[in-house]
């Protein structure tokens, strides 16, 4: 059991694999915490501040104990992980087993019993830390696939809590989920929550069906009745972004200026395609660049007039599949640019780097076509960020049917990333479509993103969670 933190009990606790802050160290070795970029933090920070809440999460460094501290009006409770736990719980079970399994097995999941043991140990540590800080009758909101056992572990020690869980990635159908040697434990772990949120109705239905067919529990629509008589609810809450924040950033003078500079640095192309992703095999980066390369090879796209900017944030670099993907993309881009680029006009500019939000907004503002082609994605926020930055209603979004966002952003140019020819046709259409068509689509996309922003998401989940009768 983790040592009790030296802070007073709170009414609202978020439990997530990572804390909402990053540590930076200056030249003199002084380190400081800064808010991590990202919608979840933006949405939850006001709730945390209003309720003087606490956030339980890993601070990102192995073998280091960091004391709880106050940050921006709420408490941060760092959970320590050893080097071996980072390997087995985070890189192993979370990202070598669950991540590929939940994303349609687009890479092969590995099943190792020692990874599972570490997952259980670490989930228990997070649950203990949350139980220690949650006041009587508090609301605890657990986030994502790394912590699926926490709801039940919390409930086992604290019947008085209201417990919510939100899964940021897809929840697979029974036929795939059944591979998991620890499938029963995961379902039971999640059922410790009063409200279990998914990105899409399909994910919620997959979960309810597994509870019914594998655990023989009684279900009715979104409700699942447990042997104790308690009712848990599984429902869809599609996550979103701080749309207004992105829009005003994109409209600011410095970002507009940077956006013009970017186009100039890229050779003032007539058409700029943009891809922005974590370097992850679920994102379909290879598929999209291959399709684009073929358009260039066939002379349908002229690299003297059109260019593709692909940004890939380094991610999970110690996991084998991610190392392989990096090599594959490096090779593909090298081949396309080497074979097809006129001097000074590489068809693809590829950057394996992370950027500040301002630079991201400048890229979104600069791009004529944003290409989002995941093979499977829980939601995908990049496509929503692009839409938020197009205040002139111009630009075109190419979006995979396999992104959770496809359920909402129906006016995008939809593609199947496995269909190379279909993807090529959509790239041509998005590039050459009439201004009126593009505007019509973008207006509809923007209506959706602005009315369903991150605040609406957090409020609707928390309202539903608070509607659960209290056991306190």
The answer to whether 234 and 222 are in contact (CB under 8 A) is: yes
Does position 354 interact with ligand F6P (CB under 6 A)? The reply is no
Q: Give the torsion sign (CA, 117, 146, 161, 57).
A: positive
User: How many residues sit close enough to ligand F6P to count as binding (CB under 6 A)?
Assistant: 7
Q: How far apart are CA 200 and CA 103, in angstroms?
A: 14
Task: Extract the tokens encoding 4.
Answer: 């009790």
- Residue 143: CB partners within 8 Å, gap ≥ 6? 14, 15, 16, 17, 40, 165, 166, 168
In sequence order, what E strands does 332-439 have? Answer: 348-351, 369-372, 396-400, 413-415
Binding residues among 373-392 for ligand F6P as defined by CB under 6 A: 378
Q: Give the residues across from 218 on adjacent strands.
A: 225
C-alpha separations of 89 from 83, 109, 230, 367 in Å? 10, 14, 30, 38
The minimum distance between CB 218 and ligand ADP, in angstroms, equals 34
The minimum distance between CB 168 and ligand F6P, in angstroms, equals 5
Does position 36 interact with ligand ADP (CB under 6 A)? The reply is no
The minimum distance between CB 138 and ligand F6P, in angstroms, equals 23
The minimum distance between CB 298 and ligand ADP, in angstroms, equals 29
Helix, strand and coil content of the chain, in percent to the nearest 5, comes to 45, 20, 35
Q: How far is CA 216 from the centre of its chain?
A: 32
Single out the residue of 101, 195, 319, 360 in contact with ligand ADP (rule: CB under 6 A).
Answer: 360
Does position 276 interact with ligand ADP (CB under 6 A)? The reply is yes
Q: What is the CA radius of gyration of the chain?
A: 23
The minimum distance between CB 278 and ligand ADP, in angstroms, equals 4
Binding residues among 196-225 for ligand ADP as defined by CB under 6 A: none
Does position 329 interact with ligand ADP (CB under 6 A)? The reply is no
The minimum distance between CB 385 and ligand ADP, in angstroms, equals 5
Report what 380 binds from ligand ADP, ligand F6P, none; CB cut-off 5-8 Å by kind.
Answer: ligand ADP
The answer to whether 75 and 12 are in contact (CB under 8 A) is: no
- Residue 323: CB partners within 8 Å, gap ≥ 6? 317
Binding residues among 362-381 for ligand ADP as defined by CB under 6 A: 379-381
At 325, is the secondary structure helix, strand, or coil? helix
User: How many residues sit close enough to ligand ADP to count as binding (CB under 6 A)?
Assistant: 15
Single out the residue of 158, 168, 441, 446 in contact with ligand F6P (rule: CB under 6 A).
Answer: 168
User: What is the dihedral angle through the alpha carbons of 427, 428, 429, 431, rounded to the nearest 10 degrees?
Assistant: 80
Q: Among residues 38 and 68, whose Cβ is nearest to ligand ADP?
A: 38
The minimum distance between CB 395 and ligand ADP, in angstroms, equals 16
Q: How far apart are CA 205 and CA 200, in angstroms?
A: 9
Q: Among residues 21 and 133, whose Cβ is nearest to ligand ADP?
A: 21
Does position 313 interact with ligand F6P (CB under 6 A)? The reply is no
Single out the residue of 33, 71, 355, 418 in contact with ligand ADP (rule: CB under 6 A).
Answer: 355
Does position 315 interact with ligand F6P (CB under 6 A)? The reply is yes
Does position 316 interact with ligand F6P (CB under 6 A)? The reply is yes
The minimum distance between CB 471 and ligand F6P, in angstroms, equals 29
Binding residues among 335-354 for ligand ADP as defined by CB under 6 A: 353-354
The H or E element containing residue 203 is helix 201-215
Report what 354 binds from ligand ADP, ligand F6P, none; CB cut-off 5-8 Å by kind.
Answer: ligand ADP
C-alpha separations of 269 from 40, 259, 284, 308, 397 in Å? 35, 13, 24, 10, 18
Binding residues among 142-161 for ligand F6P as defined by CB under 6 A: 144
Q: Give the residues across from 54 on adjacent strands.
A: 13, 75
The site for ligand F6P (CB under 6 A) is made up of 18, 144, 168-169, 315-316, 378
The site for ligand ADP (CB under 6 A) is made up of 38, 276-278, 311, 313, 353-355, 360, 379-382, 385
């Amino acid at each position: 059991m983790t040592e009790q933190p030296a802070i007073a009990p709170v009414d609202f606790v978020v439990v997530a694999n990572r804390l909402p802050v990053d540590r930076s160290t200056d030249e003199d070795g002084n380190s400081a915490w800064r808010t991590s970029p990202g919608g979840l933090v933006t949405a939850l920070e006001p709730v945390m501040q209003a309720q003087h809440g606490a956030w339980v999460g890993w601070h990102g460094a192995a073998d280091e104990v960091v004391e709880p501290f106050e940050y921006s009006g709420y408490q941060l409770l760092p959970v320590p992980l050893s080097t071996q736990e980072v390997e087995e719980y985070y890189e192993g079970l979370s990202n070598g087993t669950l991540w590929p399994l939940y994303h349609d097995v687009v890479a092969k999941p590995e099943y190792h019993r020692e990874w599972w043991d570490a997952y259980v140990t670490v989930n228990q540590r997070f649950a203990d830390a949350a139980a220690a800080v949650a006041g009587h009758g508090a609301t605890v909101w657990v986030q994502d696939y790394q912590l699926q056992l926490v709801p039940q572990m919390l409930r086992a020690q604290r019947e008085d809590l209201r417990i919510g869980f939100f899964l940021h990635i897809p929840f697979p159908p029974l036929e795939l989920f059944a591979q998991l040697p620890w499938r029963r434990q995961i379902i039971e772990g999640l059922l410790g929550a009063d409200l279990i949120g998914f990105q899409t109705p399909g994910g919620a239905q997959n979960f309810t069906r597994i509870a019914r067919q594998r655990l023989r529990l009684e279900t009715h629509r979104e409700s699942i009745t447990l042997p104790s008589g308690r009712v848990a609810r599984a429902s869809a809450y599609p996550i979103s972004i701080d749309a207004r924040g992105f829009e005003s950033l994109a409209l600011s003078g410095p970002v507009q200026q940077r956006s013009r500079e970017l186009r100039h640095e890229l050779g003032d192309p007539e058409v700029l395609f943009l891809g922005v992703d974590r370097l992850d095999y679920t994102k379909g980066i290879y598929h999209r660049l291959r399709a684009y390369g073929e358009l260039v090879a066939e002379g349908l796209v002229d690299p003297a007039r059109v260019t593709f900017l692909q940004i890939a944030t380094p991610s999970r670099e110690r996991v084998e599949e991610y190392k392989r993907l990096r090599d594959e993309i490096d090779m593909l881009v090298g081949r396309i640019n080497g074979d097809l680029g006129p001097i000074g006009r590489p068809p693809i500019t590829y950057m394996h780097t992370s950027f500040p939000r301002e630079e991201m907004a400048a890229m979104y503002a600069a791009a004529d076509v944003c290409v989002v082609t995941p093979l499977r994605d829980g939601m995908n926020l990049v496509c929503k960020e692009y839409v938020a930055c197009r205040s002139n209603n111009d630009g075109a979004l190419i979006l995979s049917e396999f992104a959770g966002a496809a359920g909402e952003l129906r006016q995008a140019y939809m593609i199947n990333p496995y269909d190379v020819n279909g993807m090529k046709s959509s790239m041509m259409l998005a590039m050459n479509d009439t201004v009126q068509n593009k505007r019509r689509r973008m207006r509809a996309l923007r209506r959706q993103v602005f009315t369903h922003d991150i605040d609406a998401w957090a409020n609707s989940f928390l309202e539903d969670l608070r509607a659960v009768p209290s056991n306190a």
